């Protein structure tokens, strides 16, 4: 079993300065290794017989890499096998320390894990269709990893070449687990350490088989509400970054940053305040998503969600160019920009990740379905038409079924998951539905069947109300009667007063 624990570090000034200097050195090594890989690829496949297009030097083993997949370092092992590109660059680390002695302050495993990080980025590019690895700057390179030599003692952790560092021991590590790796990460409010532990003797979290699933809940991600559920419940969307108060504060802090002189200390201080403000928003969003995910996982045996491609949903609109007028036309990007901000603020991808994590931890399963026509299909007659939905309202043009469009999509997602994975769902009986209706206190009573001479009044259609009398009050106002009189009683009362 693999687990991860996150703690906040409490380093002193010397340790904080050393962590910052390590990040700068590791970032330069990462960028240099990436440039070395790009150059070796160009020399092997693009430049042909020339080592450099500017100097037009002939390619040779002494001037450039002409081996496929080559890089700086020793390409062959002692047993005669060829090293991978990452291993070739690792063999050049001792030479790097000789040429630049300040790299000796960094732990050797940290330097090796830095090159493996680049290797993982390359594998993701070729295997999972991600973007090509980019050069890192100060804001995108903020962590490094240990694999050996880490120790824990009370509220202190020992990191090689950094020493013993205090941390907030918010929860103890379980017994019997061994430390696999430790990642030190810098954030706007301080330094954090992520400890990855493993225990081979403990089995992984059990996953409930499809045959044992009895209840399924369908989820539809929204913007008015964060999540719409198929049981006619919804989770509110606080809009942490897009509410008016937060937008105004962020605009003020951003304006203070832009007014400062570039590359000045005052601009760095203002930028730090802005990043701290954004970090607090992210922390609130993350805490709220964990609570929402826990409620959803506890509600049923399986969770059905849409397999959304959120990166495509927030892309810019294609430009429209008029050749006759020679200018660009309106393409709706200004309106879509606000929609993109709401989608990014809702953070659907991270919310689904948290649901998957808690579901796996609880032995439950998350079912992903195709989102095609989920908001246009009628759950009653299964008729698909784009005219069925008008904003937040759903009206089937065939059978006349009326419902909220988001809750209608939840039912379609649930039905798709049942059909796709061939689930045997336990149906509710009539008595269970009746009990659920009785529990709801705000439901209106059923209207009474009236005869020909009766009219609909509050006494017939509404519930029993408490009768209030004007004479029950402390002040006895003259002229107020104790009960409501009808027409004939009022006439008799007036006649009695006339005779007096």
> Residue 466: pLDDT above 70?
no
How high is the mean pLDDT of the chain? Answer: 83
Annotate 21-76 with DSSP letters as a single string: HHHHHHHHHHHHHHHHHHHHHIIIIISTTEEETTTTEEP-TTTS--STT--SS--B
CA atoms lying within 13 Å on the CB side of residue 320? 6
188, 277 Cβ separation under 8 angstroms: no
DSSP category for residue 243: S
- Poorest-confidence range of 160-164, 202-206, 314-318? 202-206
pLDDT of residue 212: 84
pLDDT of residue 439: 42
Better-predicted residue by pLDDT, 244 or 465: 244
> Residue 471: pLDDT above 70?
no
Mean pLDDT along residues 78-98: 89
pLDDT of residue 95: 92
Q: What is the dihedral sign for C-alpha 127, 128, 131, 137? A: negative
> Residue 266: pLDDT above 90?
yes
Rounded to 10 degrees, what is the CA torsion of 66, 70, 75, 79?
A: -100
Mean pLDDT along residues 59-66: 57
pLDDT of residue 259: 96
Candidates 11, 253, 23; CA nearest to 144 is 23
> Residue 203: pLDDT above 80?
no
228, 305 Cβ separation under 8 angstroms: no
Q: What is the dihedral sign for C-alpha 50, 51, 56, 60? A: negative
pLDDT band at 2 (very low <50, low <70, confident <90, very high): confident
Mean pLDDT along residues 397-419: 91
pLDDT of residue 438: 40
Better-predicted residue by pLDDT, 250 or 325: 250
> Residue 254: pLDDT above 50?
yes
Burial (0-12, 13-18, 19+ Cβ within 10 Å), 497:
exposed
pLDDT of residue 128: 80
Per-residue CA distances from 499 to 352, 400, 478 (Å): 82, 65, 20
Contacts of residue 282, defined as CB under 8 A and 6 or more positions apart, other chains included, come to none
> Residue 68: pLDDT above 50?
yes
pLDDT of residue 427: 65
Would you state the structure tokens that stand for residue 4, as one six-digit string? 């991860």
pLDDT of residue 423: 85
- In tens, the pLDDT along 351-380 reads 999 999 999 888 899 999 999 989 889 988
pLDDT of residue 256: 96
> Residue 432: pLDDT above 70?
no
pLDDT of residue 42: 75
Candidates 221, 250, 260; CA nearest to 237 is 221
> Residue 477: pLDDT above 60?
no
Burial (0-12, 13-18, 19+ Cβ within 10 Å), 314:
middle
> Residue 9: pLDDT above 90?
yes
pLDDT of residue 206: 77
Better-predicted residue by pLDDT, 334 or 141: 141
Candidates 274, 306, 284; CA nearest to 239 is 284
What does the alpha-carbon distance between residue 232 and residue 220 come to, in Å, rounded to a whole number? 11
pLDDT of residue 57: 65
**Whose structure tokens read 């919804």?**
234
DSSP helix/strand/coil, 140:
coil
> Residue 437: pLDDT above 80?
no
Residues in the chain: 500
Burial (0-12, 13-18, 19+ Cβ within 10 Å), 495:
exposed
pLDDT of residue 1: 79
pLDDT of residue 55: 63
Return the percentage of the chain with pLDDT > 90, whole number.
Answer: 52
> Residue 291: pLDDT above 70?
yes
> Residue 434: pLDDT above 50?
no
Mean pLDDT along residues 216-243: 93
> Residue 43: pLDDT above 90?
no
- In tens, the pLDDT along 20-30 reads 999 999 999 99
> Residue 428: pLDDT above 60?
no
Residue 363 Cα to chain centre, angstroms: 21
pLDDT band at 487 (very low <50, low <70, confident <90, very high): very low
> Residue 462: pLDDT above 70?
no
What does the alpha-carbon distance between residue 447 and residue 449 come to, in Å, rounded to a whole number? 7
Return the percentage of the chain with pLDDT > 70, whole number.
Answer: 80
Mean pLDDT along residues 210-230: 91
- In tens, the pLDDT along 151-176 reads 999 999 999 999 999 999 999 998 88
What does the alpha-carbon distance between residue 322 and residue 318 come to, in Å, rounded to a whole number? 13
């Amino acid at each position: 079993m693999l687990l991860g624990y996150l703690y906040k570090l409490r380093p002193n000034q010397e340790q904080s300065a050393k962590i910052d200097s390590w990040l700068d050195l590791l970032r330069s090594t990462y960028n240099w290794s990436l440039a070395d890989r790009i150059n070796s690829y160009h020399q092997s496949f693009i430049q042909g017989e020339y080592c450099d297009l500017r100097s037009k030097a002939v390619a040779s083993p002494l001037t450039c890499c002409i081996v496929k997949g080559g890089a700086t370092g020793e390409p062959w092992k002692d047993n005669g096998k060829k090293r991978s590109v990452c291993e070739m660059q690792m063999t050049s680390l001792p030479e790097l320390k000789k040429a630049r002695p300040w790299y000796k302050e960094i732990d050797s495993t940290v330097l090796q894990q830095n090159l493996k990080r680049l290797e993982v980025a390359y594998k993701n590019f070729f295997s999972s269709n991600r973007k090509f690895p980019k050069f890192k700057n100060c804001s995108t390179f903020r962590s490094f990893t240990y694999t050996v030599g880490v120790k824990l003692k009370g509220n202190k952790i020992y990191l090689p070449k950094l020493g013993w560092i205090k941390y907030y021991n918010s929860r103890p590590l379980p017994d019997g687990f061994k430390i696999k790796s430790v990642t030190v990460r810098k954030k706007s409010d301080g330094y954090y350490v992520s400890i990855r532990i493993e225990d081979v003797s403990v089995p992984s979290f059990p996953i409930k088989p499809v045959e044992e699933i009895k209840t399924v809940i369908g989820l539809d991600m929204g913007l008015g509400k964060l999540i719409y559920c198929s049981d006619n419940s919804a989770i509110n969307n606080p809009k942490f970054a897009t509410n008016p108060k937060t937008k105004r504060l962020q605009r003020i802090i951003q304006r203070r940053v832009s007014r400062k002189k570039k590359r000045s200390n005052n601009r760095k201080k203002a930028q730090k305040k802005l990043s701290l403000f954004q970090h607090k928003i992210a922390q609130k969003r993350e805490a709220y998503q964990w609570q929402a995910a826990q409620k959803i996982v506890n509600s049923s045996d399986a969770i059905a969600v849409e397999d959304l491609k959120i990166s495509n949903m927030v892309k810019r609109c294609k430009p429209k160019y008029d050749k006759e007028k020679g200018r660009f036309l309106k393409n709706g990007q200004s309106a879509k920009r606000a929609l993109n901000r709401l989608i990014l603020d809702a953070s659907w991808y991270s919310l689904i990740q948290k649901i998957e994590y808690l579901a796996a931890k609880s032995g439950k399963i998350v079912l992903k379905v195709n989102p095609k026509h989920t908001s246009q299909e009628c759950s009653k007659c299964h008729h698909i038409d784009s005219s069925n939905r008008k904003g937040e309202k759903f009206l089937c043009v065939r059978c006349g079924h009326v419902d909220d469009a988001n809750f209608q999509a939840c039912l379609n997602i649930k039905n798709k998951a049942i059909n796709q994975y061939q689930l045997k769902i336990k149906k509710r009986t009539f008595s269970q539905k009746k009990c659920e209706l009785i529990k709801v206190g705000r439901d209106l009573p059923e209207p009474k069947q009236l005869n020909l001479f009766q009219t609909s009044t509050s006494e017939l259609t509404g519930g029993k109300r408490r009768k209030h009398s004007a004479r029950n009050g402390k002040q006895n106002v003259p002229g107020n009667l104790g009960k409501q009189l009808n027409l004939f009683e009022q006439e008799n009362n007036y006649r009695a007063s006339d005779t007096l």
